[in-house]
Structure 1
Amino acid sequence: MKQARPLPHYLVQRYQGWRATSFNENRAWYRRLADEGQRPRAMVIACCDSRVHVTSIFGADSGEFFIHRNIANLVPPYQPDGQQHGTSAAVEYAVNALKVTHLVIVGHTHCGGVAGCHAMCSGHAPELEEKTSFVGRWMDILRPGYERVLELPEGEQVRELERQAVLVSLENLMTFPFVRERVESGDLSLHGVLHDIGDGTILQYDPTADRFVPVSG
């Protein structure tokens, strides 16, 4: 692969700093992770957005979270069609192989993917409608959420669609037979949260109230 190049200098410096400090101070823990394998209690599905740092938000150490990131933190419906499905494969591995007991969808404010979905569905982003657009076809997952926000004033639709990205993903998770089985047996719990990038808060979905509420306790 002749096009590959060495890492940029700033990444090399940061790696060397991490190796000399955090790694060195926790060398025994990293050795244990290497020798005994990973046993995360939770899987987190978050957005690729560089502003969403889930390990920092929840104060997690190496080995605690099995993390999958994609555009707009979406989970597609269960569709075993023989094609390549990165998110579905990650969910299958976390639930069936790692036996996680919590699966958390982390949405966030000011999501570019969600805004793009809204623009596409409202006819303002024809480039995303093209069959060749990977982003557009991925954001098709969120079209049911878009239909739910149409009755809101236009200025509120994108913010509500960010919430819908979490809810649609939770709903789609329950279409996976192995997820549904473990949820119904009580061995797996699903969680949906929305992170506000600007003020650092998170809201969690309360199914009883059918709304996002502040995290407490």
Structure 2
Amino acid sequence: MIPDQLKTGYAQFRAERFEKKQRIWRNLAKGQSPRVLVIGCADSRVDPAAIFNAGPGELFIVRNVANLVPPYEPDGAHHGVSAALEFAVKSLKVEHIVVLGHRQCGGVHAAATGAAKGTQFIERWLDPLAPACAEARAALGADVDEETLCDDLELRSIRHSLVRLTGFPFVAEAVETGRVTLHGARFGIADGALEWMDGEGRFVPVEIEDADDAGAEEHS
């Protein structure tokens, strides 16, 4: 039996979104051609489509614990993120790959504090965070408080994921030929602020024009 929350949401979707944009959905049934792949966190509070106000078919989204890009491991095992990455680059021909982290990330906190130790799957999944965590502790000192450590590690993790992306041969080739551009970003849950990584690896706020100010300029 479908949960009431999902049934109500589906009814609203059909009435308010699907019915009004049936032509878009009919076209999407023929195929998809998103220009952007977003690798985001599975956290229920951080929805890339909502953050970027994206409609259906505009973003190809992969979400996992702590928005990690795993290492390139062609070992024949099951690799969900790697498979999605390969499909996005080779088949969909995306032009941008965004690693989207966020503040107050539970996965990053678990890696920084050892809270995932002993778990069946999470501890192993968070292994790629170890080098970034060691860097953060070395840079901040042994007495660093938990909040500062996690804040720093959220950003370092994004940088490390971007480096691991280039370990995938098909991504490296696409970047080298200029077909794909890599990006790093972090979203603030409490204030809605978005930080974007610049060419120097620094995260700077994305400045947006206030709607009221824009209207005033148009009428000036």
The alignment's TM-score, normalised by the length of structure 2, stands at 0.89
Q: Deviations over 1:104-123 (max 9, x none)?
A: 01000000000000012xxx
Q: Which runs of 4+ in 1 moved over 6 A?
A: none
Residues in 2 aligned to 1:135 and 1:167: alpha-carbon distance in whole angstroms: 21
Give RMSD over aligned pairs: 1.2
Q: Deviations over 1:80-107 (max 9, x none)?
A: 0010001111100000010000000100
Residue pairs, 1:1-217, within 5 angstroms: 6-35=1-30, 37-120=31-114, 125=115, 128-130=116-118, 133-151=120-138, 152=140, 153-155=143-145, 156-208=148-200, 210-216=201-207
Give the partner amino acid of 1:16. A
Residues in 2 aligned to 1:118 and 1:133: alpha-carbon distance in whole angstroms: 18
Q: Deviations over 1:117-144 (max 9, x none)?
A: 0012xxxx3xx333x6200000111111
The alignment's TM-score, normalised by the length of structure 1, stands at 0.90
User: 5+ unaligned residues in a row in structure 2: which ranges?
Assistant: 209-220
Residues in 2 aligned to 1:163 and 1:10: alpha-carbon distance in whole angstroms: 35
Give the partner amino acid of 1:23. F
1:60 is paired with a residue of what secondary structure?
Answer: coil
Residues in 1 aligned to 2:120 and 2:160: alpha-carbon distance in whole angstroms: 21
**Bigger Cα displacement from structure 2, 170-179 vs 14-23:** 14-23
Residues in 2 aligned to 1:89 and 1:27: alpha-carbon distance in whole angstroms: 30
Give the partner amino acid of 1:18. F
User: 5+ unaligned residues in a row in structure 1: which ranges?
Assistant: 1-5
1:186 is paired with a residue of what secondary structure?
Answer: coil
1:7 is paired with a residue of what secondary structure?
Answer: coil
Give the partner amino acid of 2:117. E
CA offset at residue 216 of structure 1? 4.1
